[in-house]
Amino acid sequence: MNKKEIILKAKTIMAYDDEELNNLSYSEALKFDKRTFFEYYLSLLRTNHPLFFSFFNFRDYDSNIVKIDLFFVSFCINYAINALFFNDNTMHKIYEDEGSFNLFYQLPQIIYSTIISTIFDIILKLLALSETNIIDYKKNKDINNLEKRTIELKNKLRIKFILYFIISFIILLFVWYYLSAFGAIYPNTQMHLFKDTLLSFGLSLLYPLPIYILPSIFRKISLSNNKNKRKCLYNFCQVFLII
């Protein structure tokens, strides 16, 4: 590679991705973030929405294979958690309804399953994703210990990935065992469980779509004034996303 190609490649590597742009300080965002409302909204979907993040985000520093694996592990966890909510009262209700699916009765269970599954998903992401570690590495401009920091980063990511795959494998074994036992004991409730799971998992895919509109509006308004007078609104937007 000639000098021009090296400089071009370095600029490409050092360019901000969605996650970095979304987490800029207010003063930095005023200077570097020139995205439109719609572009920022799409970036939130790419970095946070389970489906977009797993299959349509190619601008981050996470492994695509790990992200896809995490998506399907999350679905399996959701499936098992829905099964855990099936008790004697649920079975009796299904019997009273003559096997028909009662959405109103199942709705609390679907919501609880979505919340619990989201918590599990957050915990697994701490091990599965490398974006934060690489961004921290990228921010450090000290070249004196570059080789040492590179080795430390690789070792840290290697340990995280190993732990993720071990834990996810154990979880999948439990899911397989529990769902197999559940299916053997309650064969007539499989369709109810499957519908609950689809609704619960579908809810986790739907609720981010309207929620991310609000921070997109706040951020656009806060950055529309380049005189540094809307910092509080910008910070509120950042806190809203964390919550």
CB contact set of 123 (below 8 Å; sequence gap of 6+): none
- Six token digits for residue 17: 């991705």
Domain ranges of the chain: 24-49+212-243, 60-209
Other CB atoms within 10 Å distance of the CB of residue 149 = 15
E-assigned strand segments in 57-118: none
Is 153:137 a contact under the CB 8 Å cutoff? Answer: yes
For the cut 80, the answer to whether the pLDDT of residue 129 exceeds it is yes
- Six token digits for residue 133: 């570690």
Q: What is the pLDDT of residues 199-228, one digit of tens each?
A: 889 888 998 899 999 999 989 888 887 666
Q: What is the pLDDT of residues 91-125, one digit of tens each?
A: 767 667 666 666 677 778 888 888 888 899 889 99
87 versus 134: the higher-pLDDT residue is 134
Q: What is the pLDDT of residues 131-160, one digit of tens each?
A: 999 988 888 877 788 888 889 999 999 999
Residue with tokens 């000290």: 142
DSSP 3-state of 61: coil
Mean pLDDT across 37-59: 91
Q: What is the pLDDT of residues 73-84, one digit of tens each?
A: 999 999 999 888
Tell me what the pLDDT averaged over the chain comes to.
Answer: 86
Count of alpha carbons within 13 angstroms of residue 97, beta-carbon side = 16
CB contact set of 226 (below 8 Å; sequence gap of 6+): 30
Is 187:91 a contact under the CB 8 Å cutoff? Answer: no
- As a whole number of Å, the end-to-end CA separation of the chain is 45
Q: CA distances (Å), 192 to each of 77, 115, 178, 188, 204, in order?
A: 17, 19, 16, 8, 18
- In degrees, rounded to 5, the angle at the alpha carbon of residue 155 between the alpha carbons of residues 154 and 156 is 90
Predicted pLDDT of residue 188: 78
pLDDT band at residue 165 under the 50/70/90 scheme: very high
